[in-house]
Amino acid sequence: MARQFMKGCEAIAEAAVRSGCRFFAGYPITPQNEIPEYLSRRMPEVGGTFVQGESEVASINIIYGAAQTGTRAMTSSSSCGISLMSEGLSFLAGARVPMVVVNVQRGGPGIGAIQPAQQDYNQATKASGNGGFQMMVWAPSTVQEAVDMTYAAFDYAQRDRNPVMILADGVLGTIMEPVVLPEPRSAEEVARLKAICRPWALVGHNPETEQRALVDSGDWNTKKMEQKCIDNAALYESWQAEAQAEELFLEDAEVVVTAYGISGRIAKSAVKLLRAEGIKVGMIRPRTVNPFPAASYEKLDYGRVKAILDVEMSIPAQMVNDVRLAVKDRCPVETCLHAGGEIMGRREIMDAVRALYR
């Protein structure tokens, strides 16, 4: 298929529609406004529903209701807006209701800055709300990857009956890039996907011929509640086999750069420029940040790797903690950081690598 020149946010929105998303609720916040703007026009075209909620809190709860019917549903926001949705996300995860949430990260904490950052890593991967629930978190570094991950996210959400997060950032949301869009799912296919959810979805069952469905995020029976937690934990554990990372030049690397999302693509470019200078540097770019691709660090030859450089647009660094858990003190893990809307440059990554390479 021919490539199109699309803005990250609009491409994410279109990918959602093509995957079968037929319900969106959200509240405006920079730098993700193009997602609701696009869907406000696009959803009616495919018989879907677009709702601008009166707040983020309302929007996530509207999604909670819509997604309980098995309709593929999505919301999007940015950083402080995601914080407002944390209670709702916890309810969705507690009730095991599928949906997709997109966080186009900006500076933080608090109102932070409207410019791009990666300040929500811990929130996304460790605690997006109360109760110790987890979501699969996909971290695209190109508009194409954002499209492919968003398209797939709805399938993961439905398979697991759990929210899935796309963790993007303000650069990815606002850049335009060529992209090849996946084929849209037909109306019949979308209906079929929804019908699969019927056993658990609140779509009106005939009490004489069908089992009643109940969607509830908690249980007053402690034994049953404990079992819910055990089942959830088993789901989260099962994701480990699906962790993904892009690996580059690891065969002979003496310094390994690691970064996700926007920092990942900038780091990749820096690594290629350093390679052209003859510097033996490699790269691990997590594509999933939950599950974290620890196996990529496990298989490094620590007899050769002198150091790992973690590159993030977050101060303090956050992903570095997962990297250190994976590296287990077998080599030093250093950082190269920006925050507050300041965007990482290739030259500073290159300088940091050169300093470790000597």
Partner 1 sequence: MERNLMVAGFGGQGVMTLGKFLADATCHSTDKNVTFFPSYGAEQRGGTANCYVVISDDEVGAPLGDAMDDLIVMNDPSLHKFLYKLLPGGTLFINSSIVTSEITRQDIKVVKVPVTGMALEMGNSKVLNIIMLGAYVGYTQVVPAEVVWNTIQQKLGKKPALLPLNKRAFEAGLAIGAEQREA
- Judged by the rule CB under 8 A, the positions of this chain that interact with partner 1 are 3-5, 114, 142, 171, 174-178, 265-270, 272, 343-347
d(CA 34, CA 225): 40
The residue (of 114 and 279) whose beta carbon lies closer to partner 1 is: 114
- To the nearest whole angstrom, how small is the minimum distance from the Cβ of residue 274 to partner 1? 12
Q: How many residues does the chain have?
A: 358
Q: Nearer Cβ to partner 1, position 4 or 52?
A: 4
Smaller CB separation from partner 1, 90 or 115: 115
- Closer of 35 and 66 to partner 1 (Cβ): 35
CA–CA separation, 282 vs 14, rounded Å?
Answer: 34
Smallest gap from Cβ 7 to partner 1, in A, equals 8
Nearest approach, Cβ of 265 to partner 1 (angstroms)? 5
Beta carbon of residue 30, minimum distance to partner 1 (angstroms, whole number): 9
Least Å distance, CB 348 to partner 1, is: 8
Kindly state the smallest distance separating residue 337's Cβ from partner 1, in Å.
16
Measured from the CB atom, the residue of 93 and 171 that comes closer to partner 1 is: 171
Closer CB to partner 1, 11 or 164, in the complex: 11
20: left (phi over 0), alpha (psi -120 to 50) or beta: left
CA angle (93, 8, 126) in 5-degree steps: 30
